[in-house]
Amino acid sequence: MNDRDYMQRAILLAQEAQAKGEVPVGAVIVFNDEIVAEGFNCPISTNDPSAHAEIVALRHAALKLQNYRLPDTTLYVTLEPCVMCAGAMIYARVKRCVFGAYDKKSGAAGSVLNIFGEKALNHRVIVESGLLSDNCSELLSAFFQSRRS
């Protein structure tokens, strides 16, 4: 599998979130070319403001790998991480973050802030942006359009 395949899986997870009435964001964590964890947004259904797709996936990966540090992992997510999720990736020592759609309202990987580029922090996450961005953006746009209707 390659980056596109992993992002396609994250898109499927985002669609699961949407089917449950959540904002459609999905995340996949890969270690040694294997998906070790997945997650999708579920803060509404769980009454948990921290239940973003990335946080859910990070929790599952830490349990599976039996380590709160996740070095040499890549986290794929359909939407640019927020401050909370970017911070969690830094603390977990995720090696690489690949995201699809940009979040011009609260993105923390370059759109509004760049937490990953903060030199005062002691870990650097490699960031790659815009993978399948049209697909990811369309999913989010359609979701919010339907909510406004």
Catalytic residues: 54
To the nearest 10°, the Cα dihedral for 61, 66, 69, 71?
A: -70
61-86: b or e for each residue (b if 16 or more CB lie within 10 Å)? bbeebeeeebeebbbbbbbbbbebbb
Report the candidate in 72, 86, 70 with the shortest Cα–Cα distance to residue 121: 86
Each of the 149 residues of the chain gets a pLDDT tens digit; together they read 999 999 999 999 999 999 999 999 999 999 999 999 999 999 999 999 999 999 999 999 999 999 999 999 999 999 999 999 999 999 999 999 999 999 999 999 999 999 999 999 999 999 999 999 999 999 999 999 988 88
Distance of CA 105 to the CA centre of its chain: 16
- Position 103 scores a pLDDT of 97
Report the candidate in 46, 54, 50 with the shortest Cα–Cα distance to residue 13: 54
